[in-house]
């Protein structure tokens, strides 16, 4: 291919330098003139995010007001940090935070490691038909609804009559506080590991086959291929997903825990999400529940920032 004339390259550089020295409004106008079609395409998404993600944030002020039905969101007496202090002084505060961290961290760690291992194992399958069959079988449980999933757990663990309950006699695992966390995270890992490994399989599919051939010629076995080829390939993806998952450390799913919760295991299953629902919806304390939800979001945000900062300094991998 012929090299571009030096005069055209100089003209482009001059054009770029000229744009840098233009006023900001002129650069914005010029940008929209050049890319208006792309902005039209993305406009519905921007509208959706603003309407459903940012407009509702106006209600955050309820955390600092006493909600009054007659005055709406903007009414009510301003009480400042009263509801936050009320939550911190609540006798259940330590129990709720402990339960939330315990369930969330177990689910986060085990649910993060299992998809990586499964993706590495599936990637070693030589037959494309067998690989496709294994992928299909492993991610099918992801589509089971939460209600059905909890019903399956109750049937399997039913004392005396359940598939696993027959070996437990009269012991009810669903009512045992010590068994609640293992039941939750094991069922979560089983249900979502196959689906979560898809993104790692997509990353592994980008590996140059010449690397495998060169490694085999050098005498590398399957474990060496995984260690020196596969794992380095997916590490950037692992870093990004770990950062995103750290942003939901306290965001334990409400539906499943609420359905699994009963009077026997409530001491181990009461988390921020269920407590907020109980206070806000069942007891009609909207301001108090808003303060708890805001506290939850702020803590998750700080975990996200910390994880992103550590990952950026350690491996130069970050989301912002």
Question: What is the pLDDT at residue 1?
Answer: 44
* Of 231, 206, 200, 228, the residue nearest 216 (C-alpha): 228
The percentage of residues in the chain with a pLDDT greater than 90, rounded to a whole number, is 28
Task: Write the pLDDT tens digit of every residue in 31-86.
Answer: 888 888 999 999 999 999 999 988 888 888 888 988 888 777 777 788 889 999 99
Q: What angle do CA 231, 236, 241 make, to 5 degrees?
A: 105
Say if residues 237 and 203 touch (Cβ distance below 8 Å). Answer: yes
Identify the CA nearest to 267 among candidates 102, 132, 96, 153: 96
Higher pLDDT, 236 or 48: 48
Higher-confidence position of 318 and 3: 318
pLDDT, one tens digit per residue, over 242-296 is 888 887 777 787 889 999 998 888 999 999 999 999 988 888 888 899 899 899 8
- 3-state class of 70 per DSSP? coil
**Which residues are within 8 A (CB) of 63 and not within 5 positions of it... i.e. 6 or more apart?**
83, 84, 287, 290, 291, 293, 294
Q: Domain 82-315 belongs to what topology?
A: MetI-like fold (1.10.3720)
Confidence of residue 165 (pLDDT cuts 50, 70, 90): low
Domain range list for the chain: 6-64, 82-315
Whether residue 276 contacts residue 289, with contact meaning beta carbons closer than 8 Å, is answered with yes
pLDDT at res. 234: 86
Q: Identify the pLDDT of residue 170.
A: 63
- In 3-state terms, what secondary structure has residue 68? strand
Number of other CB atoms surrounding residue 114 within 10 Å: 18
Per-residue pLDDT, 169: 63
Mean pLDDT score of the chain, rounded to an integer? 84
- Residue 14 in this model has a pLDDT that exceeds 70: no
Please check whether residue 223 is in contact with residue 277, taking contact to mean a CB–CB distance below 8 angstroms.
no
Q: What's the rounded mean pLDDT across residues 85-97?
A: 92
């Amino acid at each position: 291919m012929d090299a571009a004339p030096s005069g055209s390259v100089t003209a482009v550089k001059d054009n770029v330098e000229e744009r840098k020295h233009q006023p900001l409004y002129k650069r914005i106008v010029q940008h929209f003139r050049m890319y208006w079609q792309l902005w039209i395409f993305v406009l519905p998404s921007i509208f959706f995010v603003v309407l459903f993600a940012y407009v509702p944030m106006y209600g955050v002020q309820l955390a600092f007001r006493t909600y009054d039905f007659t005055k709406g969101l903007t009414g009510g007496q301003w009480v400042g940090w009263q509801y936050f202090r009320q939550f911190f002084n609540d006798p259940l505060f330590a129990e709720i935070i402990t339960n939330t961290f315990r369930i969330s961290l177990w689910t986060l760690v085990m649910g993060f490691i299992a998809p990586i291992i499964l993706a590495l194992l599936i990637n070693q399958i030589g037959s494309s038909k067998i690989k496709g069959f294994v992928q299909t079988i492993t991610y099918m449980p992801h589509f089971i609804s939460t209600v059905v999933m909890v019903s399956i757990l109750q049937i399997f663990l039913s004392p005396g009559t359940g598939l696993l309950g027959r070996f437990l006699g009269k012991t009810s695992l669903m009512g045992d506080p010590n068994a609640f966390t293992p039941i939750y995270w094991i069922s979560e890992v089983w249900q979502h590991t196959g689906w979560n490994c898809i993104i790692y399989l997509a990353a592994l599919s980008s590996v140059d086959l010449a690397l495998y051939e060169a490694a085999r010629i050098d005498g590398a076995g399957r474990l060496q291929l995984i260690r020196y080829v596969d794992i380095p390939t997916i590490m950037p993806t692992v870093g990004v997903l770990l950062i995103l998952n750290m942003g939901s450390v306290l965001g334990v799913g409400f539906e499943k825990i609420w359905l699994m919760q009963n009077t026997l295991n409530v001491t181990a299953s009461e988390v921020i999400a269920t407590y907020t629902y109980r206070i806000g919806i069942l007891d009609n304390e909207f301001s108090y529940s808003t303060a708890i939800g805001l506290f939850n979001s702020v803590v998750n945000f700080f975990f996200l920032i910390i994880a992103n900062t550590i990952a950026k300094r350690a491996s130069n991998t970050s989301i912002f």
